[in-house]
Amino acid sequence: MAGSSRYTAILDANVLYPILLRDTLLSLAVADLYHARWTATIHDEWTRHLAADRPDIADKLQLAVERMNAAIPDCLVTNYEGLTNCIELPDADDRHVVAAAIAGHADAIVTFNIKDFPAGVLEPYGIEVQHPDEFVMNQLRLQKIPALSAIKAMRARWRNPERSAAEMIAAFEKRGLPLTADLLREAEALI
């Protein structure tokens, strides 16, 4: 597929690393609220760091990657590498993300590292950068019922350990998503 008629976002490695955020972003994508995309390089980056920090789950990460790729149709961006050297960023190691966004026809890059993706570099390509808190909050505001349903279904899947809605909301806040937490508090009975 050359592009998507839905809002498309490249998910940077740092938003795929934390399981709560990864599960949330994927749940919203599976609910068809936006088109999530990434690359094999992005997968390599988040799984390598997570395996180093959590060797107890390192052997499960390849299965997570396979399930992610299977859950989201047309998620893997390919043939972006040739664009990488044409992009100027504060951190050259992030050029592959912008190249993937261009090749993947993305509307946004979702990342915690907003400053690493200057608007002046992205604007000519019609790409914006969004903090994950802003991105998830936007999904909740734009498509409230489907987004809340996706988050409720996500929480229902959690078994080890199970979490109450209040515990999940507190986890969002603890993980740097206070705006999302505030919106979910207003709808706690629904999730």
User: What would the pLDDT profile of 13-40 be if each residue is shown by its tens digit?
Assistant: 999 999 999 999 999 999 999 999 999 9
- Kindly indicate the confidence band of residue 60, based on its pLDDT and cuts at 50, 70 and 90: very high
User: How do the domains of the chain map onto residue ranges?
Assistant: 8-131, 136-190
- Average pLDDT of every residue of the chain: 93
Say which residues have a Cβ less than 8 Å from residue 80's Cβ, sequence separation at least 6: 39, 96, 99, 100, 102, 103, 104
Give the pLDDT score at 160.
Answer: 79
Identity (one letter) of the amino acid at 21?
L
Interatomic CA distance for residues 140 and 134, integer angstroms: 10
Q: In this structure, are residues 191 and 152 in contact, taking their beta carbons and an 8 Å threshold?
A: yes
- Kindly indicate the confidence band of residue 2, based on its pLDDT and cuts at 50, 70 and 90: very low
- Kindly indicate the confidence band of residue 5, based on its pLDDT and cuts at 50, 70 and 90: low
Which CATH superfamily does the domain covering 8-131 fall into? 5'-nuclease (3.40.50.1010)
pLDDT exceeds 80 at position 1: no
